[in-house]
A and B are shown apart, each in its own frame.
Chain A
Amino acid sequence: MSRNSVAVVALLVLFLLQVGVKYGPDIVPPVLTNDKVDRVTYVYEKDDGGVPPQIAKAMMDMNAVGIVATEFEDDTVDGDGQVPDQHKVADTAAKDVGQPCLVSQAGEKVIRVIKTTKATTYEQAMEAAK
């Protein structure tokens, strides 16, 4: 392999490591986009545990800056017994990745999905808003 190729590979590896460190438990790498996150949904099943305090706090802080940050418990439906329209995109995204997770959207577009655990920190949860 030429020296240039090694350098390119090394830079690529460094880049990927940076992405991994910054975004922590991401399973779906963020979509590279200029779209602004306007909705974050925490999708979970309460029979597997409640909303961790740090995630709850992060969502409240997201709401305070204008992002629509809500919980969607797996069995929740609207008055007609259907998955609420506002949660359909997040519900589908969460099925692909597994619950619990934070789903970031810009309109109907999924920007990122962060798989979470009880140990997810406030800072990691706030990445969903970026």
Chain B
Amino acid sequence: MTLDLSKIAVNRNQVDVVLKEHDGYPAHLARLDTEDAICAAFGDTNRDFPAKLWIEPSERRERARMNDELGLWAGNFIDRFTNQTPTHECTTHAFRVVAEACRNRQRRIALGGPVAGQRLPISAKSASVWLSCISVYAEANPRQRGGANVQQICRIACDRGVLPDKIQPKDYGFRYAMAGTCGRGGINQSSGPWPGWSGDTFRTRPSEWPDDNWRDEAKHFKPLECVYVRNADEFDCLLLHGYAISIGRKGHSVPVIGIKYEGNRKLYPYFDSYDRILFDSSAYYSGAYSILTMTTPDNWDKPVG
């Protein structure tokens, strides 16, 4: 089964949802996410939008139709929702969708999109690895409350990578797995205590870790090439090519995973970090970025060797 956005019915309560208060992307942090700041945060992974990914506006609707028919949206390469309630982890929840979609797209096994509250049978047969949001968030904001912006989490992830979640669709033999969230989590995301951050490592490391060499595992889940999305055209072209894009708007950071054409309008579906799919009717927000490539393992079944 593949994700066909044209077949998803949209309830108007799912469109342009704004949270009552920020859940991790407050305005004072969002203001700092300029193009220069985010590109600097990408470090060596920073790339310009590849010109050859341009799709003429007149061809985009047909490309979207093809993506629906063939299952090529980024959302087709995601197999779980996460739930951050009641934390301020949203930027890392959005990041993990962009990273996991990229990695799973590289593997090219159709996962079909997430189903709330369910473990998909395909996950255990694929190369899907679920990433821990707080393994990045703890370093980005050691105070825990207040959130983190895009440049903070991207700098960390692009520099040293991300740890795997304690819950995985199959046993990969990870030695340094970490709880996925300090929030609600769910069947596909572990919830655990705040690890904190002190100096250059976690203040409280999980008891099952053999030592503090967790960076040896995190490096296997690292963005290699990232792009700051400069305008609505680049936004649409990247989505049409099957890349997920993280955007921040009105206090919340979300990962857009495709384009749904409805008559004369476009809706942008995203896997919200509250176990649900929602839609935005606007084409583009600032602070948008995508991951073009992730590290690839020597063996998909043994991703850390």
Binding site for B on A (CB under 8 A): 46-51, 53-54, 56-57, 59-60, 63-64, 68-73, 75-80, 84-87
Question: Told that A53-B66, A71-B105, A76-B296 touch, could you supply 4 new A-B pairs with CB distance under 8 A?
Answer: A49-B53, A57-B71, A63-B110, A72-B296
How far apart are A14's CB and chain B's nearest CB, in angstroms?
A: 36
Given A53-B72, A56-B70, A57-B70, A70 and B107 contact (CB-CB distance below 8 Å): yes
* Number of chain B residues close to chain A: CB under 8 A: 36
Provide the B148-161 mask, 1 if CB < 8 A to any CB of A, else 0. 00000000000001
Say whether A56 contacts B108, CB under 8 Å: yes
How far apart are A53's CB and chain B's nearest CB, in angstroms?
A: 5
Binding site for A on B (CB under 8 A): 2, 50-53, 63, 66-67, 70-72, 105-110, 161, 219-222, 224-225, 241-242, 292-300, 304
Say whether A50 contacts B300, CB under 8 Å: no
Max chain B C-beta neighbours (<10 A), residue from A56, A64, A84: A56
CA distance A78 to B222 in the complex (A): 9
- Residues of chain B within 8 A (CB-CB) of A53 are 63, 66-67, 70, 72
Given A73-B106, A85-B298, A80 and B53 contact (CB-CB distance below 8 Å): no
CA distance A69 to B127 in the complex (A): 12
Given A86-B297, A87-B296, A75 and B219 contact (CB-CB distance below 8 Å): no
Say whether A76 contacts B224, CB under 8 Å: yes
Q: Main secondary structure on chain B at its contact with chain A? A: loop
Given A50-B242, A53-B66, A79 and B72 contact (CB-CB distance below 8 Å): no
- Residues of chain B within 8 A (CB-CB) of A77 are 224, 295-296
Given A53-B66, A73-B106, A78 and B220 contact (CB-CB distance below 8 Å): yes
Say whether B295 contacts A79, CB under 8 Å: yes
Beta-carbon nearest neighbor of A62 in chain B:
B108
- Residues of chain A within 8 A (CB-CB) of B292 are 46, 73
Given A53-B67, A77-B224, A46 and B109 contact (CB-CB distance below 8 Å): no
Say whether B52 contacts A84, CB under 8 Å: no
Partner of B222, one of A51, A59, A60, A79: A79
Partner of A56, one of B51, B63, B219, B242: B242
Beta-carbon nearest neighbor of B106 in chain A:
A71
CA distance A48 to B241 in the complex (A): 13
Partner of B108, one of A46, A49, A71: A71
Beta-carbon nearest neighbor of B54 in chain A:
A49
CA distance A68 to B72 in the complex (A): 18
Say whether B293 contacts A49, CB under 8 Å: no
- Residues of chain A within 8 A (CB-CB) of B299 are 85-86
- Residues of chain B within 8 A (CB-CB) of A84 are 296-298
Say whether B52 contacts A59, CB under 8 Å: no
